[in-house]
């Protein structure tokens, strides 16, 4: 692991801190939303994908079924498929490393200039983030059990706020805004007539609004 | 709140399958760049739909989310965005906004 520079280690540490804050919010939101503490904790260990975890619990909290929650989570995580191809060489031989494939770890791995650097960046950031994420979710879940009136504290606004904060940087990219806004409009319209969870999946129709050759 | 363990396991297994496909089949299959772009875009579309559908209940909650959106566009730090959303909603409820 000698090929990791001090700057890279600092970057990894910063991302760990940021993800730990998201993880703590996830644990607290899930538990204050009515889940048993083991739900966010087990989910974080075996799913280990923040967006899908938030989506799944968010849909169930909104009154949607488990099927819609799982389907949405799986569509979200389909983006990990190309990521797996991108870091295949790094994970080969130690397949349990595949569990560490996330947006962040792949981004770190691809920063490496050669195979060894990519390997080190992936594994160091992966193991660090796995630890940071799971510990922070436990802490958040425990904190969530102490919170009484979650509505008075405005905690129900935290869930959409977290997601919005996570996706806003990507919304400035070319060709993203039209399908995203169309999908949001479709989901909002559908939510007036369809049961929770289904409208979110229907938003995928917004993909039809993407510009050609974007 | 009901989240059966089976649902969590299915989500985890499917996610692991997506992760393992690359390391296992890389020599035989290639992912077309267009599919790659489509999958990332699909993720953004779903997450935004989730924001929209979980924001609308009364007035205090969407107001909090709106504040979060403005702060996010202005590149405020993550904790600031999230706490400002909760604080806005909490204060509005305190003064009687539903």
Local confidence pLDDT in tens for the 98 residues of chain B: 678 899 999 999 999 999 999 999 988 888 898 988 898 899 899 999 989 998 988 999 999 999 999 999 999 988 899 899 999 999 999 999 99
> How many CB atoms are closer than 10 A to CB A35?
22
Tens of pLDDT, residue by residue over A29-63, are 999 889 999 999 999 999 999 999 999 999 999 88
Measure B95 CA to nearest chain A CA, in Å: 11
Nearest to B65 among A97, A157, A180 (CB): A157
- What is the percent of chain A with per-residue pLDDT over 90, rounded to a whole number? 65
**Nearest 10 degrees: CA dihedral of B35, A11, A91, B40?**
-10
Q: Which of B78, B87, B44 is nearest to A156 (CA)?
A: B87
Residues of A whose CB is below 8 A from B86:
153-155, 157-158, 161
Residues of A whose CB is below 8 A from B79:
21
Q: Name the closest residue on chain A to residue B33, using Cα atoms.
A: A82
Q: Return phi, psi of residue A119, to 5°.
A: -60, -50
What average pLDDT is seen over chain A? 91
Residue range A22-26: average pLDDT?
A: 92
Q: Which long-range contacts (CB under 8 A, 24 or more apart) does A199-203 make?
A: A199/B49, A199/B53, A200/A55, A200/A59, A200/A64, A200/A68, A200/A72, A200/B46, A200/B49, A200/B50, A200/B53, A201/A68, A201/A71, A201/A72, A201/A75, A201/B46, A202/B49, A203/B45, A203/B46, A203/B48, A203/B49
Residues of A whose CB is below 8 A from B57:
156
pLDDT bin (cut points 50, 70, 90) of residue A2 is low
Delimit the domains of chain A by residue range.
Answer: 6-170, 172-214
């Amino acid at each position: 692991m000698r090929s990791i520079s001090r700057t890279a280690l600092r970057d990894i540490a910063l991302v760990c801190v940021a993800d730990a804050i998201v993880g703590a919010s996830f644990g607290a939101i899930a538990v204050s939303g009515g889940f048993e503490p083991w739900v966010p904790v087990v989910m974080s260990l075996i799913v280990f994908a923040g967006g899908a975890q938030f989506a799944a619990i968010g849909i169930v909290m909104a009154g949607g079924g488990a099927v819609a929650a799982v389907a949405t989570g799986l569509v979200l995580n389909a983006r990990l498929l190309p990521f797996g191809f991108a870091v295949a060489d790094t994970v080969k031989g130690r397949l349990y490393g595949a569990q560490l494939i996330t947006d962040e770890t792949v981004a770190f791995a691809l920063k490496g200039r050669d195979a060894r650097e990519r390997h080190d960046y992936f594994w160091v950031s992966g193991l660090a983030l796995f630890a940071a994420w799971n510990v922070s979710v436990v802490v958040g879940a425990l904190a969530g059990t102490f919170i009484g009136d979650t509505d008075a504290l405005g905690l129900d606004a935290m869930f959409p706020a977290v997601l919005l904060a996570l996706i806003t940087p990507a919304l400035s990219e070319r060709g993203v805004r039209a399908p995203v806004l169309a999908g949001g409009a479709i989901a909002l319209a559908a939510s007036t007539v369809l049961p929770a969870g289904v409208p979110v999946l229907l938003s995928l129709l917004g993909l039809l609004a993407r510009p050609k050759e974007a | 709140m009901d989240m059966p363990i089976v649902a969590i396991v299915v989500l985890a297994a499917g996610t692991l399958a997506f992760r393992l496909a690359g390391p296992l089949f890389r020599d035989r299959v290639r992912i077309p760049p267009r599919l790659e772009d489509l999958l990332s875009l699909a993720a953004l579309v779903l997450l935004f739909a989730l924001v929209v559908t979980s924001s609308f209940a009364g007035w205090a909650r969407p107001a909090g989310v709106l504040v979060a959106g403005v702060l996010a566009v202005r590149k405020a730090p993550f904790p600031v965005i999230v706490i400002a959303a909760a604080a806005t909603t909490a204060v509005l409820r305190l003064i009687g906004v539903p």
